[in-house]
Amino acid sequence: MTLLQVPSDDWLDALGAARAHGIGATLVTILETEGSAPREGGTKMLVTAAGQTGSIGGGHLELKALEKARVLLADAAALPQIERYALGPSLGQCCGGTVTLLFEPFAAAAWNVWIFGAGHVGKALVHQLAGLPLRAILADARPEQFPDALPANCTKLVEPVLEDAVKDVPPGAAALVMTHSHDLDLILVERLLRRGDLAYVGLIGSASKRKRFEARLSAKGVDWKDLVCPIGLTEIDSKHPHAIAIGVAAQLLQRRAASAEAARPVPELAAVRSPR
């Protein structure tokens, strides 16, 4: 599955996919037109950093709209904006009318957690993450593995070739590997670690599993030092899926808090006057 892989005019499904996967997007709507215009009022176009769904008519007007939509995403804008464009020589369009556009930015999720494997622990983990300010993706190749209901902040991703979904994980996300196959686990871990732009890469398993993976990853030239395995808090000594999930959720929160603290600017020391 490729994100936003929807029909070219299906902006609503594209917006749903973007929101579900934590991808920032700007919805551009033609509010009104005066005179001749390439598209009618109500026409919509969804814009992400990587592409678009739909069209407001093409030409220089659409190019300017794409530029503004992506500026709003880059600036993490929260409020809608309205712009009026005259379709004259300045835009290189001879329609002669005017178009008023509404730009509605939808910011990307600040925290994304991807779970590869919808087994007992994967299903338990998404419920431990329910209600937290994050977007969770539960990914598996087997549709029958998913529960009937998922928390509001979690989306299921059915990917027949599970490792293909690694490219869709946004930078800075946390990724956890817990599939039914050690061979698939290795492929996923290798691809995730090679990315080099993820905040957390975790692998379910024991210390002995980690040693086996270290040897196999080293043979492939992969730096495994940032791999978290075993996952979860060591103080929670239980193999129950929900207990493991609680420990993993707590570890993710700890890592998130530590990362935020490390990124916080150090306050400048107040100038100290020497006594006269």
Best CATH choice for the domain 112-258 from the list 3.50.50.60, 3.40.50.720, 3.40.50.1100, 3.90.25.10: 3.40.50.720
User: Residue 113: left (phi > 0), alpha (psi -120 to 50), or beta?
Assistant: beta
Q: DSSP characters for 138-192? A: EEES-GGGS-S---TTEEEEE-SSGGGGGGGSPTT-EEEE--S-HHHHHHHHHHH
Which amino acid belongs to residue 27?
A: L
For residue range 196-242, what is the model confidence (pLDDT) as tens digits?
999 999 999 999 999 999 999 999 999 999 999 999 999 998 999 99
Half-sphere exposure of 85 (CA within 13 A, CB side): 26
For CATH 3.40.50.720, the residue range(s) in the chain are 112-258
More confident call, 248 vs 4: 248
Q: Say which residue the tokens 């999930």 belong to.
A: 245
The alpha carbon dihedral of 28, 136, 110, 164 has a sign of negative
Q: Is the pTM of this model over 0.95?
A: no
